[in-house]
Structure 1
């Protein structure tokens, strides 16, 4: 009995641009609850083999999107969103 479970994917699903979009959405989803809770500093850590690549990715792609996040609920009046590389 030969059973295949899963989906057939095209190479476009793994294009660098799509992987970056997925990574950005994932990071935003992880950071969002902290921004909503009023945190004004968030620390991100790279555990991968390319620290310089992470810094470049952060500066070019991730930081602008995270800095644009604003709380979606009530937060203390002194809270602000600040992401420091």
Structure 2
């Protein structure tokens, strides 16, 4: 059962990273790599420029979200261990 939870967590981290990467590309946050068209239009019009930019952003964002998940897991363990004592 624990291994299933690990796979679910890893899958969620990857999905959140993909959504965040598209969001950063689209300019949903403070950092924006957005051109005049949307991500999917850029992907269709110029895939050789869009795909490397997407991979670059994904490689930057995935470790950040993974680190946040690890910190949350450690904090949750500490809180639970204190409550169980």
* Length-normalised TM-score, structure 2: 0.30
Flag the structure with more relative contact order, 1 or 2, with Cα contacts below 8 A and sequence separation at least 6. 1
* Length-normalised TM-score, structure 1: 0.30
